[in-house]
Amino acid sequence: MKMPKRFTMSKILFVLLFLFLLLIPLNTVSASFFSWALHGSIFYFAADNGVDSDPAPVIPSGGVSFAFQLAKFFKLELTQDIYFKNYEYNSSLGYPMACNPENRSAFVMGFITGINAVFYLPIGNKAMRVFGGPVFDLRLITLAVGLNHPADFTGDIKTDAQLQTDAIINYFWGKGRWFMPVAGFGFDFPINEKFLIGFDIRAWFPVYKLWTNDKVPAIDGWRFGAGLRITIRNTEDKKE
């Protein structure tokens, strides 16, 4: 897989930043203020390219989050979601589009890495959460599985799977298109003394469109998600 050096460096820098922020709470916050959760979501990647595009994808995702309570109603939460999707590159429009398997050129494994400020309010034995923060979509992009026939490598970007994959890498890792802040809300309900069950509604904002001047429909790049989560409760949660 080819990847320009500047994109590799951007990925390394943000992974290091993520690890640095992870270590700060671990060294300054008591373990009793730590909790973690498993979650599953359905993502909607909005798109509107008319006849040139497959329908906007609806993608299942799994993830995990780690929360550190820094004040009575405030937590810092580190989140990681993962998704998989096939993409093609539309050379006429000049950008990648999610596609059905028969039209694939590249396979994208997306690691949606977030650092959220979470404000929560206990309501009886329930809790409401409102959260938001920076998110980095760290995409691993490879040639799609099964493309090994000479007809898949024509030398023309309109039909050449490798040329399209390279173009998709350059697009997604260029101009900060991996940066997508998130905002959302959710509720948690107790199952028992140890577990909470909850749901989240999330929206990711394609702020990179403010500086990239991409000629795409207004809805393109927006993402929305809804999901369930199971939280392993800490001692402070049990007291409330």
Q: What are residue 112's phi and psi, to 5 degrees?
A: -85, 105
* Residue 51 pLDDT exceeds 60: no
Strands (E), 46-167: 58-71, 74-90, 95-98, 106-123, 126-133, 135-143
Burial of 87 (0-12, 13-18, 19+ CB in 10 A): buried
Which of 73, 68, 111, 108 shows the shortest CA–CA distance to 88?
A: 108
pLDDT for position 30: 44
Q: Considering only CA atoms, give the Rg of the chain.
A: 20
> Contact 33/71 with Cβ under 8 angstroms?
no
> Which pLDDT score is estimated for 187?
95
Residue type, 122: P
- Which domains are seen in the chain, by residue range? 5-28+37-239 (2.40.160.20)
pTM of the model: 0.82
Q: Are 65 and 78 in contact (CB under 8 A)?
A: yes
pLDDT digits (tens, 9 = 90+) for 140-191: 999 999 998 888 899 999 999 999 999 999 999 999 999 999 999 999 999 9
- Rounded Cα distance between 48 and 34, Å, is 42
Look up tokens 């916050």; give the residue. Answer: 29
Lowest mean pLDDT among 23-32, 59-68, 209-218: 23-32
Band (pLDDT 50/70/90 cuts) for residue 194 is confident
> Is a pLDDT exceeding 70 seen at residue 27?
no
Name the token pair of 3. Answer: 């990847």
Q: Are 182 and 205 in contact (CB under 8 A)?
A: yes
